[in-house]
Chain A
Amino acid sequence: MNGRERILTALEIREPDRVPLYIHGINEESIIGIGRHVMDGLPDPKQFHDMTEPERLKLLEALFLIHEEFGVDGFTSFEINQLRDLDATHAVDDWGVVYKRSPHGIPVVCGHPVQDVAALDRYTPPKPRREHLLLLDLARERFRGEKALFWLMRGAFVLSWRLAGMSNLMIEMHEDPGFVHRIAEMTTVFNLQMLELLAQAGLDVLVVEDDIADTKTTLISPKHFREFVNPYNRRLVERAHQLGLKVVRHSDGNLWKLLDILLESGYDGLNPLEPQAGMTLDRVKAYCGDRLCLLGNIDCAELLPHGTPEQVDAAVRKAIEDGGEGGGLIICSSNSLHPGVDPENCIAMFRATHKYGAYGNT
């Protein structure tokens, strides 16, 4: 099997030849740290935004090589070049959401263009832009069907709070539900249009990235989730399935309160299964491993930053024991390979998946 077949088989809750391996997200520093094991000439760690064009090409080459050399079966793409600089530290996206650039990772939202009904009445949402799919196009040309192509699409909750402000949106769930619905609808129309472009561009797996929980519980009640978030994201799931794509739901945190709702919504997979948030693999596998492919769970909060390669090896082995039976497991870190992770530990995770992941059915 090639990587694409392996991933798609696991997402159908069947056993591939071995447990697939996937990187959900990875920052520049980690690409460079891991990439130095597979190529020379990479720049010192810095943000993509601050790199020269040749440095960016090197970074991209390193990212592709990491997937090839370490046998990572799926490749994650997302919108790039969608931010326009406002000044030295601030940028704005097509929605008018303002970000502050951080030296330690992705830019952080700091300005919300649609904070009330009057602003919403005046607001014109953007249209998806085909040129923002550049990374997906490059990956498709590079891997030519050998690896599954994933796309990170922010869901209704994240897009809505970016537009309205999180506290504001949450208060309006009580005080002006119509406002919250209008924003969610607007983001969903955009996402559905984007989905058509993605399917035409050869996507395999849509990841609905919509963080809704912290390590203890959900940010909003299940009732609010059912009203303001899930129906919108569910339309993405339904359309993606019509287009022949698989759909993975990504949310940080403890999702136990929402798991039944997610199950009934038709997702094929769940990511990233944070162990610190009670999403232990054996428990989730026992609850719904026959209906939902599980992607993640290798701890990136403690283990990958501060553990040893031997400990990582043992954790991957245990994850495969706990979650691999019958298929439906894809090894991945419990969130992004952020700048704090140790590259040696990431490599240990890749290697251990190959070492312990064989199903013995070929």
Chain B
Amino acid sequence: MTRIEELFDAVLTGNRDAAVEVARRALEASVDPQSLIDDAMIPAMDEVGRRFEEEEYFVPELLLSARAMKSVLERIKPLLSQKGTSHKGCIVIGTVQGDLHDIGKNLVAAMLEGAGFEVVDLGTDVSPERFVAAVEEKSAKLVGLSALLTVTMPSMKSTVEALEAAGLRDRVKVMVGGAPLSTDYAEEIKADAYADNATAAVRVAQALVGA
């Protein structure tokens, strides 16, 4: 088994210690760090996503794999910046103003990181102004808005409008998610897309930013 295959397996099975150890040995053997991401970990997370969609994996398995990938990423990130290699783009994510729920949002953030995006997680109860500031500061390509409560859904609309008012809307895509949402609602508030679970969010994000 090659080191790439070993890393793929370690991430797929959520074995953080094994993933970190394999990555360390691979780097010692001068394997290109970008190749660890592109050829091992992203394919592994794609497979995790497929298993989740097929209900072979559930949230705990998703969390374990995402954690394994994140642990390796943290160790190889400094090497990537030295080499001038970049991630797929920056995504700003958060639960909208008035809403404190974050379980679904956290899962989406973990999966997006697992797919190779830089994720800036603003947390919960995030005002439109904070979303705008983060998009500007990070030159984000995409914003992910989450809401669990019907009554906080209008905050999504306010956030889209704030991005528009700040002149950012033509360079940032907006995707929305959360239990009470739908594609219809996304269209109604002029968001670009709706995703109904964490793995769908990865697919939607990739499609929106052409990653």
Interface residue ranges, A against B (CB under 8 Å): 100, 102-105, 108, 110, 166-167, 170-171, 173-174, 214-221, 224, 257, 301, 305, 338-340
Contacts and interface: CB of A to CB of B under 8 A. Distances in A.
Interface string B52-75: 000100111101100100000000
Contact of B180 (A218, A257, A301): A301
A215 B104 CA distance: 12
A121 B180 CA distance: 40
Contacts of A173: 60
A219 B101 contact: no
A171 B70 CA distance: 15
B100 A100 contact: yes
Given A216-B197, A217-B58, A221-B58, 13 more contacts: A104-B98, A105-B149, A108-B101, A166-B103, A167-B106, A170-B63, A171-B64, A174-B60, A221-B61, A224-B58, A257-B55, A305-B150, A340-B149
B100 A301 contact: no
B35 to A, nearest CB: 28
Nearest to A225: B58
A220 B60 contact: yes
Interface of B: 14, 55, 58-61, 63-64, 67, 98-101, 103-104, 106, 124, 149-152, 179-180, 196-197
Nearest to B197: A216
Contacts of A174: 14, 60-61, 64
A257 to B, nearest CB: 7
Contacts, number: 66
B63 A301 contact: no
B60 A108 contact: no
B14, B60, B98, B149 — most chain A CB neighbours (10 Å) = B60
Nearest to A274: B179
Contacts of A215: 179, 196
Contacts of A218: 58
B58 A104 contact: no
A171 B60 contact: yes
Contacts of A100: 100
A174 B63 CA distance: 11
A330 to B, nearest CB: 23
- For the complex of A and B, 8 pairs with smallest distance between CB atoms: A340-B150, A170-B60, A108-B100, A221-B58, A104-B151, A219-B59, A340-B151, A339-B151
A167 B150 contact: no
Nearest to A223: B58
A305 B150 CA distance: 9
Contacts of B104: 214
A105 B180 CA distance: 15
